[in-house]
Amino acid sequence: MTSLLAIAVQFLILTPWRIQQVTSWILSTQSSQLDMADNAFDDQYEGCTKEMEKKAPQLLKEEMRMNGLLRSEWEKAEEYWKQNMKKRINYPKQFNDFHGTALVAYTGDIAVEFNRAVREFRQNSLNFHFKAFHYYLTRALQLLSTTECYTVYRGSKTKFYHSKRGSVRFGQFTSSSLDRTVATRDYLGAGGTLFTIRTCSGVDIQAFSTKPHEKEVLIPGYEVYQKVTVQGTNEKRNEILLESPKKMKSTFNCFHISTGNTRVGDNNFARSGRTLPTSQPYPHHLCDNHLFTVWKERKP
């Protein structure tokens, strides 16, 4: 009979192929609870955009020195923006190269790592090296925002659940698509979740995307859905309807201006009137790039 020690040794000494098998098994069985994503960094920079426009360029340089992924993706996106997009896209007067580059970069290979850092900000704020990127991406969506609402579909490989009580939000930037096939074919796992979402904060960024065929609409993480309906739950996948969207006051606002550093400060909680719960393990919300299908609707 094989000893427990022998089994442990066999488990620890994993070949690359075995590691891939274990990783695939973990991802295939992943599940998560929909909630208000209280650990997420949700700054809307209300009242401090002028200060951030002055501070962010230097902040970006510093973070690019510390974050190799950010540096690589930003440099590629900056070149793509200036050579292929800047002169052929209509955008607001306040919209600048930083905003455009941030949108292009997000549609590249930075989204997964960036959104993970955003979701887990409260537990790891000192190592959050996306401060400038978060500002530029948030500001870009604010400047491009219109009066239109959308009904969107989101395919996820994660199986989500809801307690049937309370509002929810994603807490991170959430991708979407005008093409339903993109959401179901490329992003919906066999045991995952299909979301139907009404959003009034999402922005069509297809013109800024390195993958225009995905017809992407990007939703900021601070949009809250007050009505949650779980539909068609079965062993294969869940279907969840999110409605009654609203833009909620953020837990963090002007965080990098009011605190002067990256520490989680009490001033930000008092500013929003909300209290965060005690630290607890945060589920891996939306770790891969999921997409939606969207139809335009006029805001009421």
Report d(CA 238, CA 160) in Å as an integer.
7
Nearest alpha carbon to residue 233 among 193, 187, 286: 193
What CA–CA distance (Å, rounded) separates 256 from 127? 14
How does strand 174-177 pair with strand 216-219?
Answer: antiparallel
Supply 149's token pair: 């609402």
Let me know if 154 is a catalytic residue.
yes
CB count in 10 Å sphere of residue 250: 22
Active site residue 180: no
> CB of 278 within 8 A of CB of 74?
no
216 is catalytic: yes
Task: Compute the distance between CA of residue 38 and CA of residue 276 in angstroms, rounded to an integer.
Answer: 6
- C-alpha 3/C-alpha 31 separation (Å) is 32
Place of tokens 């045991």: 191
Q: Which of 125, 156, 175, 176 is catalytic?
A: 175
Positive or negative: CA dihedral 118, 197, 277, 32? negative
- Residue whose C-alpha is closest to residue 151's, from 42, 288, 299: 299
Pairing between strand 193-199 and 238-247? parallel
Cα Rg, the chain, nearest whole Å: 20
Q: Which long-range contacts (CB under 8 A, 24 or more apart) does 84-92 make?
A: 85/207, 85/208, 89/207, 89/208, 91/143, 91/144, 92/143, 92/144
Q: Catalytic pick from 119, 122, 154, 198?
A: 154
Q: Which one is catalytic: 63, 73, 120, 216?
A: 216
Q: How many residues does the chain have?
A: 300
What is the H or E stretch that residue 72 is in?
helix 68-80
List, by residue number, the catalytic residues: 154, 175, 216
